[in-house]
Structure 1
Amino acid sequence: MIAGVLLALPGLAAATELRGYSVDGDAIPQSLTGRAGDATRGRALVVERSSTCILCHSGPFPEQKFQGDLAPDLSGSGRRWSEGQLRLRLVDASRLNAETIMPSYYRLDGLQRVGAVWRDKPILSAEQIEDIVAYLVTLRE
């Protein structure tokens, strides 16, 4: 099911090479792009049904009638996790929990059952990751 949803994602990440990053404990402290993302674009990505976020997560998105309940509510994300912790969860949540159902949005190696359209490409670009992080840190309540 998740693989089918991922095939429907808009704007397949154009970059085929990942930008380098360093993991420090449970976080990626530095921006993947070297600059902050745009929270408005990040919110649009989160609520876009085909981006998969709200298929599993719920949150403060009153305009979205159907929201997921398989994963933590995104309300208060910016209070619960640092920018770097959010970034790692988006880049590769399996580093924190090998059994997670959350896709690795910015990882290419060691993946199984990857559709042909997604091989050798991240699901989200570095810019999209930073935009989502910029939005999630604003969710303080």
Structure 2
Amino acid sequence: MKRTTGIVAIAALVVFPAMADEVAPSEVKFEEGVVSASLTGTAGDPVSGRDVFANRKLGNCLACHANSDLSEESFHGEVAPVLDGVADRWTEEQLRGIVSNAKMMFEGTMMPAFYIDSGYERPLEDFAGTSILTAQQVEDVVAYLKTLKE
């Protein structure tokens, strides 16, 4: 029992400092739609980002965007730009801004703001005051998008 408690305490010390560096949705700094600084201070994981991108309960990016890298997934959307080669068109900082809150870069866009926690209505009360994605999930999606080159 004591050994398990010690391991949990050590794990907490390892995990919580990374959380301390996380930028809250209301603290994200946009400069002409661009978010220069990482939201977590930790590099995004493109494999996890691919999963978030395709997950219909998280990013649900395929509802609007087509993406050849995810050809095994069905029902790619046709209402937003195709994301093949997106890493050649946008910088990491621009992609972070677009994923966090595309409305800061594209006035009138229908793309949801994935990293805001106020100023919108969520249909389920359990989700009120929370962002669609976590800061790390935003960083992961950005890392994945950076792999999509022509």
TM tier, shorter chain? 0.7 to 0.9
Amino acid at match of 2:93: G
C-alpha distance in structure 2 between counterparts of 1:132 and 1:19, whole Å: 20
Shift of 1:66: 1.5
Give yes or no for contact 1:59–1:73 (8 Å, CA) kept in 2: yes
Partner deviation per Cα, 1:8-53 (whole Å, 9 max, x = no partner): xxxxxxx9x5373322223101110012100000011112233321
What fraction of aligned residue pairs are identical, expressed as a percent? 36
- Contact 1:28/1:84 (8 A) holds in 2: yes
What pairs up with 1:1-141 in 2 under 5 angstroms? 17-18=24-25, 20-51=27-58, 52-60=60-68, 61-111=70-120, 113-115=121-123, 116-141=125-150
How many pairs align? 125
| Conserved? CA contact 1:91–1:106, under 8 Å | yes
Q: 1:87: Cα distance to partner?
A: 0.6
The normalised TM-score by structure 1 is 0.81
Larger radius of gyration: 2
- The structure whose residues are more often helix, as a share, is 2
**Which stretches in structure 2 are left out of the alignment for 5+ residues?**
1-21
Check conservation: 1:39, 1:135, Cα contact below 8 A.
yes
TM-score between both structures, scaled by the size of structure 2? 0.76
**Equivalent residues of 2:122, 2:128 under 8 A apart:** yes
Deviates more, 1:17-26 or 1:123-132: 17-26
Report the equivalent of 2:4.
Answer: none
**Structure 2 contact 38–139 (Cα < 8 Å) conserved:** yes
SS in 1 for 2:25: coil
For residues 28-81 of structure 1, the C-alpha deviation after alignment (integer angstroms, 9 at most, x for no partner) is: 011100121000000111122333210111112110122001111111111110
Aligned equivalent of 2:12: none
